[in-house]
Amino acid sequence: MRLAHLALLAPRSDEEARTRKRADAQKLLGEIRRTSKDEYAFGRLALTRSEDPRSRPAAGELPFATREEIEARLGKEASDVAFSAPPGRVADGFIETEQGFQIVKVIAREVGREASYDELREGIRARLTAERREKAFKEFMDALWAKSDVKIDEAALKQLAAAEAKTEARKSPK
């Protein structure tokens, strides 16, 4: 399933924040319903009002994910509602989760399938190459540090930091 969400974060332990966010979620849901004819309205609201830093830049959109992946990211409640809503529509009501409140729009649904090796080959090759390169670099740096016998003089570092702070203080206007 592919979906977009708008998150208002307030942990269960903070009842005052949850009360405020619940009211905000209700207002946002009303605004989404009023602008339901505009297919970009949900995305604009997610860009400006969502509190999820990972999906906000993408207008709240998440990549295709399984039920388990959505549950891990948004919570079981959001996953259940998302999988019961029809594609192209905003789920009825906002969803209360452990993290706060979610408004979910189902973008698309696709039947899961096994990918063939040919489809995955380049991605696997790129990942293995990156892992080998990272491991070789780490081994190289560890050997370099061990061989060079580097010692860090904490007192000298503190003096440098103090001198830099004085220089910055002189540069900034009073």
Specify whether the CB–CB gap between 77 and 12 falls below 8 A. Answer: no
Confidence at residue 121, expressed as pLDDT on a 0 to 100 scale: 93
Confidence at residue 174, expressed as pLDDT on a 0 to 100 scale: 56
Specify whether the CB–CB gap between 18 and 100 falls below 8 A. Answer: yes
Model confidence pLDDT, tens digit, residues 3-38 = 999 999 998 899 999 999 999 999 999 999 999 889
Confidence at residue 152, expressed as pLDDT on a 0 to 100 scale: 85
Model confidence pLDDT, tens digit, residues 60-119 = 999 989 999 999 999 899 899 988 888 988 988 899 988 899 999 999 988 777 888 999
Burial class (CB in 10 A: 0-12, 13-18, 19+), 67: middle
pTM over 0.85: no
For the structural domain made of 2-108, what CATH number should be given? 3.10.50.40
Confidence at residue 165, expressed as pLDDT on a 0 to 100 scale: 85
Domain segments of the chain: what residues?
A: 2-108, 119-171
Sequence-ordered list of residues with C-beta below 8 angstroms from that of 166, at least 6 positions apart, any chain: none
Q: How many residues does the chain have?
A: 174
Nearest-angstrom CA–CA distance, 121 and 146: 37
Nearest-angstrom CA–CA distance, 79 and 73: 9
Confidence at residue 173, expressed as pLDDT on a 0 to 100 scale: 66
H or E element that contains 74:
helix 67-74
